[in-house]
Structure 1
Amino acid sequence: MGRALVVGGTGPTGPPIVEGLLARGHDVTVFHTGRHEVAELPDVPHVHGSPFEAADIARAVGSGEWDLVVAAYGRVRLIADAVANRCGHLVVIGGVPVYQGYVNPGSRFPYGVRLPVREDTHPLVAPDEPRFAGYSTGPIRRTEDHVFALGAQGAFAATYLRYPTVYGPRNPYAWEWHVVRRVLDGRPWLILADGGHGVHSRAAARNAAQAVLLAADRPETAAGQAYNVADDELVTVRQWAQLVARAAGRDLEIRSLPRELPSPGLAVSAFGGQESPTCVVDTTRLREDLGYRDVVSVADGLGETVEWMLANESHLRTSRTTDPFDYPAEDALVTAYTAALASLAPQTAPFGTGIAAMEMVQTAKGRASQDGVRTPGSGAAPRGCRTTS
Structure 2
Amino acid sequence: MLGGTEFAGRAVVEAALGRGWEVTVFHRGRHEPPAGAVSLLGDRTAPDGLAALARGEWDLVVDTWSADPAVVRDSARLLADRVGRCAYVSSRSVYAWPPSVDLAEDGPVVDSSPDATGVPYAEAKRGGELAAIAAFGEERVLSGRAGLIIGPWENVGRLPWWLNRIARGGPVLAPGPRDLALQYIDVRDMARWLLDASEAGLSGPYDLVSEPGHTTMGELLDACVRATGSDAELLWRDPEAVLGAGIEPWSGLPVWIPPGEPYEAMHGADVSKALAAGLRCRPVGETVADTWAWLRGLGGVAPLRTDRPAVGITPEQEAKALGL
Q: Structure 2 length normalisation: TM-score?
A: 0.80
Asked if 1:97 is matched to 2:93, the reply is: yes
Against the structure 1 CA distance between its residues 22 and 10, is the aligned structure 2 distance closer, same or farther, given a 3 Å change threshold? same
Shift of 1:42: 3.1
Q: Is the 8 A contact 1:163 1:229 kept in 2?
A: yes
SS in structure 1 at match of 2:316: helix
* 1:190-227 residue CA offsets vs partner (Å, 9 max, x unmatched): 242x53654342111211111111122112xx13x111
The one-letter code matched in structure 1 to 2:54 is G
Q: Say whether 1:35 aligns with 2:30.
A: yes
In the alignment, which residue of structure 1 is the partner of 2:59?
67
Are 1:159 and 2:142 an aligned pair? Answer: yes
Cα distance, 1:305 vs structure 2: 0.8
Structure 1 distance, partners of 2:29, 2:218, is 37
Work out the CA distance in 2 between the residues paired with 1:287 and 1:318.
31
Q: What is the distance in 2 between the residues matched to 1:25 and 1:243?
A: 33
Residue in 2 aligned with 1:283?
A: 271
- Aligned position for 1:55: 48
User: Bigger radius of gyration, 1 or 2?
Assistant: 1
CA–CA separation in structure 1 for the residues paired with 2:299 and 2:257: 24
Q: Compared with structure 1, are the counterparts of its residues 117 and 145 closer, same or farther at alpha carbon in structure 2 (3 Å cutoff)? A: same
Residue 119 of structure 1: aligned partner = 105
Go from structure 1 to structure 2 and tell me whether the alpha carbon gap of 1:302 and 1:89 turns closer, same or farther (over 3 Å shift). Answer: same
Q: How does 1:235-250 map to 2 (within 5 A)?
A: 235-250=215-230
Alignment of 1:1-389 (within 5 A): 6-37=1-32, 41-53=34-46, 55-56=48-49, 58-73=50-65, 75-101=71-97, 108=98, 113-120=99-106, 122-127=107-112, 135-152=120-137, 157-192=140-175, 194-195=176-177, 198-219=180-201, 222-223=202-203, 225-232=204-211, 234-250=214-230, 251=232, 252-258=234-240, 260-261=243-244, 262-263=246-247, 266=250, 267-269=252-254, 276-278=262-264, 279-288=267-276, 290-294=277-281, 296-316=282-302, 321-324=310-313, 326-335=314-323
CA RMSD in angstroms comes to 3.1
* Per-residue Cα deviation, 1:13-35 (whole angstroms, up to 9, x for no partner): 44442244345453211112221
Residue 202 of structure 1 aligns with an amino acid whose one-letter code is Y
Bigger RCO (CA 8 Å, 6+ sep): 2
- For structure 1, the residue ranges without an aligned partner over 5 or more in a row are 1-5, 102-107, 129-133, 337-389
Q: Distance in 2 between matches of 1:138 and 1:13?
A: 20
Aligned letter for 1:151? F
Q: Identity percentage over the alignment?
A: 22
Give distance in 2, aligned partners of 1:287 and 1:68: 22
Letter in 2 for 1:263: I
1:88 to 1:284, Cα distance in 2 relative to 1, 3 A? same
My pick for the range that moved more, 11-20 or 171-180, is 11-20
Instruction: Provide TM-score, normalisation by structure 1.
Output: 0.68
Aligned match of 1:377: none
When the two structures are aligned, how many residues end up with a matched partner?
A: 303
Q: What is the CA–CA distance in structure 2 between the aligned matches of 1:51 and 1:181, rounded to whole Å? A: 34
Unaligned ranges ≥5, structure 2: 114-118
Conserved in 2, the CA contact under 8 Å of 1:207 and 1:231? no
- Give how far 1:93 is off: 0.6
Give the equivalent residue in structure 1 for 2:116: none
Q: C-alpha offsets along residues 78-102 of structure 1, whole Å, 9 cap, x if unaligned? A: 321221222210111111111223x
Q: Deviations over 1:230-277 (max 9, x none)?
A: 234622333322222322223522233436542165423469879711
Q: Report the 3-state secondary structure (helix = DSSP H, G, I; strand = E; otherwise coil) of the residue aligned with 2:7.
A: coil
Contact 1:183 1:249 in 2 (8 A): no
CA distance in 2, matches of 1:178, 1:255: 19
AA aligned to 2:55 is S
**3-state SS, counterpart of residue 215 of structure 2:** coil
